[in-house]
Structure 1
Amino acid sequence: MTRPDSPRQSIVQRALGGHAAIGLLASALIYILALTGSLIVIHDRWQRWEQPLVTETRYLSPDAAQRAMQAVLASEAGKPRTAHLYIRMPTDDLPRAVVTTDNGAWYVDGAGRVVGREAHAWTEFLIAMHEYLHLPTTWGLILVGALGVMLVVLVVTGVLAHPRIIRDAFRLRMRHDPQIARADWHNRLGVWTVPFVLAVALTGAFIGLGSVGFSMLARAYTGGDMERIYAPIFGQDPAPDAAKAPLADAATALRVLGRRVPFADPTYVTIHDPGTRGQHIQILADHPRRLIYGESYVFDGAGRWRGPIGLSNGAIGKQVAASTYNLHFGNYGGLAVEIAYMLLGGALCVVTATGTTLWLQKRRRRGLRGDRLAACWDVILWGVPLLLLAMLWLRALAGPDAPLAAGFWSSLAAAIIVAAARPAVIARAHLRRTVAAAVLTTACLHLIAFPDAPPGVIAIDAVIIVPFATTLAIRFGRRRRPAAPGTVRTLEEVGGAAR
């Protein structure tokens, strides 16, 4: 038996104290990042869901890509000249071609004709929240990177604080006291998700803090020139020449790539400084069975081959940097990996939620008042998903230019102030039921409004409707089922049924 003052017990106590302190400091923001991260794993599918009636195509030929570029640039006559032009090629997740300039983004069909404006503001809102919490980009990346470091520390201290972690890995006492069951869920899900959480936390910290590190290096060694700092990894752009010239020949570049690297699947075509003598072409292509986000192939303005940057077969540092993004966002392995990332991200949400709830209830057992903190935490847990849905409705009613970020954060701040001032008005059970009903209603109305949507879009509605409708039906049935004669229901059972 371990003595209370033994070194092992001291390490466990210190780890538990550090785990609690860091968790309380970062739990709300980590929960928001985990929730939004779980959603944006399938951001391409959400983009289809948000704009379900856009013409789709599985293939965009080189000639059609060239026509699409010309059509979009022609439609922007009189607007400021764009410095970059992008063609997002159709993929299985998003079978739509998109041409983007500095002035906007447009869908094009398989023949290269413009068919509509890209306006998936809610999806972009989710992505921006996860990547930099809608703060100014540099400060947001610093904060998100720091939260990734905190999450790594939470994992390490959590493991150190549980010396019986292996023995108890499959111990789940669901029918015991709710506090014990909640602690078991926290500990078991925390153990089972350790590899995933470490992977996404470390890569998130690398992505967030890495950009800041590059900025510091640029200020110290290149006078703030970011392109020179990134050049060893992502390549060096040729010298610009602003003299006018015919638009770059992306069609020839795509055909050359198809001949020289037949297994590469183009995903993005980028024209730097289009319509000038200094323009050049970069084609980002997916390499099957590789973790890298793709290899970038460079061509001159006439479509002549200049070679790859080396993300697929260059220095190890390049390959590691190119693999970080897919490992963090789950953009590899298709739908099966995306589902796994969403489930594991959901588990991280549960771990974060139960961790803070356990601490609050521990305070209550010690006789410390925590009603205000508990009400604020309930607003975070259930108010955040409810507000994400509210922003979706705001986007639908007010259009793609609706102030989603301002609406979300101002509403969340107001709800927290109300919870702190009047904790009695915050009822967790009502919030949970409201979230479930709002999700189910949104999916049903979307399905009714867009019955001719592609099967992939309808599948998302079905995946949402079936489990939520089943859960609500089961809970409603339990509430209406009369108790058997002579059955004595404890206060805890009554509370569980109400929840």
Structure 2
Amino acid sequence: MSHRAVRVWSFVHKWSSLVCTLFMLLLCITGLPLIFHHEIQHAQMPELAEVQPGTPAPGLDSIIASARAARPGEVVPYAYFDDEDPLVMVASGRSMAAPPDELFYQFYDLRSGQHLDVAQPTEGFMYIMLRLHMDMFAGLPGMLFLGVMGLLLVVAIVSGVVLYAPFMRKLDFATVRRQRGTRTRWLDLHNLLGIVTLVWLTVVGVTGSINTLAMPIERMWQASELVEMAASHRDLPPPTQLAPAASAIAAAERAMPDMKVRTVAFPGSPFASPHHYGIYLVGDSPLTSRLLTPALADAATGEITAMREMPLYAKTLFVSQPLHFGDYGGLPLKIVWALLDVASIVVLGSGLYLWLARRKAPAEKRLEEQDESTLATENNA
């Protein structure tokens, strides 16, 4: 590689890294506990009481009525079913269109209807970590900004790989020159961990950037696919009396017997329509359990009126979300993800240190390093 090409790639690597490093450090640090978010959440859940065999379950509509009674003046836009335990989380708010952060969440045992005393998912340490990781408490602009930082990370990785080959031509793989100065040792460690975490950092950077598009993707789907699914009832007045939510769920499960309901959106909420329940189902394999399949049920009769697969852009989002946190292979994969996350923190931190240390080095020393780098490049060429 010519000296000019090395200078160009060095410039790209340096500035793409510097611009995104602090934000990537923030994302790696906040992402570490989020890798185990599911396990932490379940550990905080209270023990479910024993239920005598033959005890009749209260039914979802009875539980919804209890949730409404506990929050007078509020409406229920959503109910979420747990993927492991017989639990349902009922969301209520001041309006059907209230954003998730303004909703109040109540947890119930589906077998007995018992209300569980659980901390709000929009409070506490894990919520702060999630918001910092997702949008830095800045909403959509924060999400899109972090998406750009993720793309800059990918640019830094590609340019780093291009520079790694000529740099290591005269050194064995994994060489750390301990006899040289502190900065040289950190440079070798930075290069070593960078190449080891190459694939993982690329995957996390790309999937993270995709995840920042979640809100625009949701809005695109609502404005196109959901509107088309509800078009048959567009000119009808909203029903004055709703069919039981349980009948809509049963109809969806009959239509898709190999799937199970994950979410129910009630009529008038953003993920339903004024005339329909929105029933969202998932499969039982590691992949299909991440892919939502929507169905609309007539709010007056409970019968399914429309059902279709999600478009490719939505499926891409659904697949990238769990991949970003290593949530496909259970706890062992999450531990691997956490170790790679820690290694990435070292890579990012060492890169920042190397830049600061170089800035603080005497001018003569920097000129000497530049001359050595130029000579090495010419010899390699």
Question: Is the 1:67–1:113 contact (alpha carbons within 8 Å) kept by the matching residues of 2?
Answer: no
Q: What are the superposed Cα offsets for residues 157-191 of structure 1, whole Å, 9 maximum, x if unpaired?
A: 11112124787684142855543332232112211
Supply the RMSD in Å over aligned alpha carbons.
3.6
Out of 186, 191, 207, which is 1:187 matched to?
A: 191
Q: How does 1:348-497 map to 2 (within 5 A)?
A: 348-366=344-362
Q: How does 1:8-407 map to 2 (within 5 A)?
A: 8-49=2-43, 51-53=44-46, 55=48, 64-77=59-72, 79-82=73-76, 84-87=77-80, 89-92=81-84, 96-102=87-93, 103-109=103-109, 110-120=111-121, 121=123, 122-135=125-138, 137-164=139-166, 170-173=173-176, 175-176=178-179, 177-209=181-213, 211=215, 227-229=222-224, 231=226, 239=234, 241-246=237-242, 248-273=243-268, 278-290=275-287, 293-300=290-297, 301=299, 302-306=301-305, 308-311=307-310, 316-366=312-362
Deviation at 1:242, TM superposition (A): 4.8
C-alpha distance 148-73 of structure 1, shift in aligned 2 (>3 A): same
Gaps of 5+ in 2: 94-102, 365-381
Distance 1:73 1:159 in 2: 57
C-alpha distance 272-354 of structure 1, shift in aligned 2 (>3 A): farther
Q: What are the superposed Cα offsets for residues 455-491 of structure 1, whole Å, 9 maximum, x if unpaired?
A: xxxxxxxxxxxxxxxxxxxxxxxxxxxxxxxxxxxxx
Question: Is the 2:230–2:296 contact (alpha carbons within 8 Å) kept by the matching residues of 1?
Answer: no
- Tell me the TM-score normalised to structure 1 length: 0.59
Gaps of 5+ in 1: 1-6, 219-225, 369-499
Deviation at 1:288, TM superposition (A): 0.5
Deviation at 1:282, TM superposition (A): 1.2
SS of the aligned residue for 1:161 comes to helix
Question: Is the 1:86–1:100 contact (alpha carbons within 8 Å) kept by the matching residues of 2?
Answer: yes
Distance 1:326 1:155 in 2: 22
C-alpha distance 213-271 of structure 1, shift in aligned 2 (>3 A): closer
Distance 1:365 1:11 in 2: 25
- Tell me the TM-score normalised to structure 2 length: 0.75
Question: Is the 1:27–1:356 contact (alpha carbons within 8 Å) kept by the matching residues of 2?
Answer: yes
Deviation at 1:153, TM superposition (A): 0.8
C-alpha distance 48-104 of structure 1, shift in aligned 2 (>3 A): same
Deviation at 1:277, TM superposition (A): 6.7
- State the AA in 1 paired with 2:151: V
- State the AA in 2 paired with 1:91: D
SS of the aligned residue for 1:332 comes to coil
Percent identity, please. 19
Question: Is the 2:249–2:279 contact (alpha carbons within 8 Å) kept by the matching residues of 1?
Answer: no
Q: Quick one: higher RCO (CA 8 Å, sep 6+), 1 or 2? A: 2
Deviation at 1:31, TM superposition (A): 0.5
Question: Is the 2:259–2:281 contact (alpha carbons within 8 Å) kept by the matching residues of 1?
Answer: no
Distance 2:2 2:49 in 1: 61
C-alpha distance 339-146 of structure 1, shift in aligned 2 (>3 A): same
Question: Is the 1:267–1:286 contact (alpha carbons within 8 Å) kept by the matching residues of 2?
Answer: no
Question: Is the 1:107–1:116 contact (alpha carbons within 8 Å) kept by the matching residues of 2?
Answer: yes
Deviation at 1:332, TM superposition (A): 2.0
SS of the aligned residue for 1:352 comes to helix
- State the AA in 1 paired with 2:159: T
SS of the aligned residue for 2:117 comes to strand
Distance 1:332 1:198 in 2: 17
Distance 2:50 2:307 in 1: 28
SS of the aligned residue for 1:273 comes to coil
Question: Is the 1:173–1:181 contact (alpha carbons within 8 Å) kept by the matching residues of 2?
Answer: yes
Deviation at 1:245, TM superposition (A): 1.6
Distance 1:57 1:188 in 2: 53
Deviation at 1:62, TM superposition (A): 8.2
C-alpha distance 281-265 of structure 1, shift in aligned 2 (>3 A): same
